[in-house]
Amino acid sequence: MTDTPVLSVRDLVVDFPLRRGNFRALDGVSFDIAAGEVLGVVGESGAGKSMTGAAVIGLLEPPGRITAGEVHLSGTRIDTLPPAQMQALRGKRIGMVMQDPLTSLNPLFTIGDQLVETIRQHMDLSEDQALERAISLLEEAGIPDARGRIHAYPHQFSGGMRQRVVIALAIAADPELVIADEPTSALDVSVQAQVIKVLKDLCQRRGTAVMLITHDMGVIAQIADRIMVMNAGRVVETGPVAQVIRHPREDYTIKLISSIPTIARTGEPPPPPAQDSAPAFVQVQGLVKDFDAGGGWLARVLGRAVPPFRAVNDVSFRIARGETYGLVGESGSGKSTCARMIAGLIEPTAGRVVVNGMDVWQVSAAERARRRAVQMIFQDPYASLNPRWRVGNIIAEPIRVLGLAKGSEIEDRVADLLRKVRLDPIVMRKFPHEFSGGQRQRIAIARALSSQPEFIVCDEPTSALDVSVQAQVLDLMSELQGEFGLTYLLISHNLAVIRQMANDVGVLHRGVLVESGPVDAIFDHPQADYTRMLLDAVPDLADIE
């Protein structure tokens, strides 16, 4: 080992010459990565972390280009190399892992084809030798029965398995550096931990330097040696992981780290639930939802029908007035289907939902009252507001449709709601695309509040937001709950968010509620195996010594 770092970036500047002037995406970025070291690069969206990775490997999207600074790979300058030489270097000396395993493999070629083609591009091996190497790489990446599955197509693998294939492809030619851009963001928590481990093991064994780009501080804590915090195209702070997380120096880092929710109990525990004595405000009983798995009538005639898929299986729980029930689960666990059945959007196959004595799925005279009382906040603030409507009309729609107010009173109410969610009432003349993600989610909350509901179903309300914005939105939700005595059903895949917000929690796994009870009891003493596995898998800042 020499003292020369594998990757050395000095004063890197990337510019995007746009129509209305130049946009500086990276502004004087400098850092080093030594052999065998993992550098975690964190930042919120737009911080320039992916841009840094793309600039290093020479894959900036036009019109972006490096306008100043130097990139050295093991002592040789590479940012000035002609395209042909840069291309020879990609894959061979710098490998890359991209975010979405479902789209980064070519669906029309077998994984063996793609591996062999990459190996033979960079190494002087025969077809058979390359195939052998491909199989051993897949085995190393933890693909069971690699020899048998080498001629399978990408769609025959699950997301986690595909990301292992992608990692095998990235290290196929033993590169000195691997750039991993959000390698686990598209995966579930339980799979995420395994994939991170594979990446770390493979690189450690080879002494490969890793540049790990992620927005998830927990992942960094789990795998990285050093951490680099970026914001608005600049490096804010660099240092060993424990030091930066425990003792951040810069204001931005301090704020960022304090806004990350942790799975450990912070602050005072929620008051003891009055569950058994008080009548339940929301009662969910034996909720079931089957989806027709298809095949169509012809398959049925030919006797190849697929039995219906049971997305939600006999889910029951209750929420007391003014409390928050957290429902956690991974993708495909049926939590969103649950949310929609409870709010009244998808009709259940079986079961009952009763809110304040009103059955959600029973047509009755109280229909209007029930619609007023139950509202919903959705995950994607970009899709939950009609882009062609002015904000004022969006918030006023429930008031108008349910006939809660008339004339100028409507506008007064809208102004009032906007103030409640900390927005200037003047914005009611604007359209949704003029707002940031966090602001839009506030508008969505204002709309949910406009019918003066008592119960709000929140389906992943913050998972599309950056952590600092997430913290603000969660704070707002808590304040409003106190002010209006709201009852929340909070759906999330993020255990830390649930712990901080909920009184009670239910854990959903493949449509079945495996555990339900007071949040501290379940987080501190999980009973179900699945809950225990989930809690173990979550990377958390509190784990840092």
Partner 1 sequence: MLIFIVRRLLQSVIVMLVVALIAFLIFRYVGDPIVSMAGVDTRLEDQELMRERLGLNDPFYIQFWNFLTNALHGDFGISYRLQQPAMRLILDRLPATIELAVVSATLALVLGVLMGIFTALRARSFLSGVIMTLSLVGVSLPTFLIGIGLIYIFAVELQWLPSNGRGTTVQLGWWRTGFLTESGLRSLILPAITLSLFQMTLIMRLVRAEMLEVLRSDYIRFARARGLPDRVINFRHALKNTLVPVITITGLQLGSVIAFAIVTETVFQWPGVGSLFINSVQAVDVPVMATYLMMVGLVFVTINLVVDILYYLVDPRLRVQGKGR
Partner 2 sequence: MTDPTTSPTSAPRGFWQRLFDSDIWFSWSRSPVTIVASLVALALILAAVLAPWIAPHTPFDPATVELMDGFTPPGQQALSGTTYLLGSDDQGRDMLSTIMYGSRVSLFVGFAATLFAMTLGIALGLTAGYRGGFADTIIMRIADVQLSFPAILIALLIFGVAQGLIPASQQEQTAVWVLILAIGLSNWAQFARTVRGTTMVERQKDYVSAARLLGRNPLAIVTRHVLPNVLGPVLVIATISLALAIIEEATLSYLGVGVPPTQPSLGTLIRIGQRFLFSGEWWILAFPAVTLILLALSVNLLGDWLRDALNPRLRK
- Least separation, in Å, of the C-beta of 317 and partner 2? 21
From 42-50, 134-142, 237-245, 324-332, give the range in contact with partner 2 by CB under 8 A. 42-50
Binding partner of residue 433 among partner 1, partner 2, none, CB cut-off 5 to 8 Å per kind = partner 2
From 108-116, 263-271, 398-406, 416-424, give the range in contact with partner 1 by CB under 8 A. 108-116
Member of 87, 362, 364, 436 binding partner 2 (CB under 8 A): 436
Binding partner of residue 380 among partner 1, partner 2, none, CB cut-off 5 to 8 Å per kind = partner 2
Task: Give the residue from 355, 284, 357 showing the smallest Cα distance to 318.
Answer: 284
Binding partner of residue 87 among partner 2, partner 1, none, CB cut-off 5 to 8 Å per kind = partner 1
* Antiparallel, parallel or unpaired: β 282-291 and 309-319: antiparallel
According to DSSP, the residues that pair with 16 across neighbouring strands are 23
Hey, CA dihedral for 69, 74, 76, 79, is it positive or negative? Answer: negative
* Cβ-contact 215, 43 below 8 angstroms: yes
Order of strands, sheet of 350-355, starting from the edge strand that comes earlier in the sequence: 309-319, 282-291, 350-355, 358-359
Q: Does 507 bind partner 1 (CB under 8 A)?
A: no
Member of 387, 406, 407, 408 binding partner 2 (CB under 8 A): 387
Binding partner of residue 152 among partner 1, partner 2, none, CB cut-off 5 to 8 Å per kind = partner 1
- CB-wise, 160 or 398, nearer to partner 2? 398
- CB-wise, 226 or 509, nearer to partner 1? 509
- Binding marks (x or -) toward partner 1, 183..222, rule CB under 8 A? ----------------------------------------
Of 4-23, binders to partner 2 (CB under 8 A) are 16, 18-19, 23
- Binding marks (x or -) toward partner 2, 187..216, rule CB under 8 A? ----------------------------x-
* Cβ-contact 235, 13 below 8 angstroms: no
Which residues, in sequence order, are CB contacts of 299 under 8 Å at separation 6+? 305, 306
Q: How many angstroms separate the CA atoms of 400 and 402, rounded?
A: 6
Hey, CA dihedral for 409, 410, 415, 421, is it positive or negative? Answer: positive
E strands in 48-168: 65-73, 76-77, 94-97
Neighbours of 106 (CB within 10 A): 13
* Cβ-contact 10, 30 below 8 angstroms: yes
* Antiparallel, parallel or unpaired: β 350-355 and 309-319: unpaired
CB neighbour class for 290 (10 Å; exposed up to 12, middle 13-18, buried from 19): middle
- CB-wise, 72 or 371, nearer to partner 2? 371
Q: Does 431 bind partner 2 (CB under 8 A)?
A: yes
Task: Give the residue from 487, 433, 420, 412 showing the smallest Cα distance to 457.
Answer: 487
From 126-134, 297-305, 365-373, 442-450, give the range in contact with partner 1 by CB under 8 A. 297-305
Member of 11, 434, 479, 529 binding partner 2 (CB under 8 A): 434
Site size for partner 1, by CB under 8 A?
A: 41
Which residues, in sequence order, are CB contacts of 27 under 8 Å at separation 6+? 13, 232, 233, 234
Q: How many angstroms separate the CA atoms of 437 and 435, rounded?
A: 7
Binding partner of residue 107 among partner 2, partner 1, none, CB cut-off 5 to 8 Å per kind = partner 1
Q: Does 65 bind partner 1 (CB under 8 A)?
A: no
DSSP string, 88-118: HHBTTTEEEE-S-TTTSS-TTS-HHHHHHHH
Q: If you search the block for the tokens 């949704």, which residue do you land on? A: 432
- CB-wise, 148 or 240, nearer to partner 1? 148
Member of 4, 10, 32, 46 binding partner 2 (CB under 8 A): 46
- Binding marks (x or -) toward partner 1, 138..167, rule CB under 8 A? --------------xx-xxxx--x----x-
- Least separation, in Å, of the C-beta of 97 and partner 1? 9
Q: What single-letter amino acid sits at 460?
A: E
- Least separation, in Å, of the C-beta of 388 and partner 2? 4
Member of 115, 138, 169, 374 binding partner 2 (CB under 8 A): 374
Could you say which DSSP state residue 540 is in? Answer: -
Could you say which DSSP state residue 74 is in? Answer: T
Q: Does 455 bind partner 2 (CB under 8 A)?
A: no
Member of 47, 165, 458, 496 binding partner 2 (CB under 8 A): 47
- Least separation, in Å, of the C-beta of 474 and partner 2? 19
DSSP string, 495-533: HHHHHHH-SEEEEEETTEEEEEEEHHHHHHS--SHHHHH
Task: Give the residue from 118, 238, 107 showing the smallest Cα distance to 167.
Answer: 118
Neighbours of 158 (CB within 10 A): 12
Binding site for partner 1 (CB under 8 A): 57, 59, 87-92, 95-96, 98, 100, 103-110, 117-118, 121-122, 152-153, 155-158, 161, 166, 169-170, 172-173, 296, 298-299, 302, 304
Binding site for partner 2 (CB under 8 A): 16, 18-19, 23, 25, 45-51, 64, 182, 215, 340, 343-345, 367-368, 371, 374-376, 378-380, 382-389, 394, 397-398, 401-402, 426-427, 430-431, 433-437, 447, 451
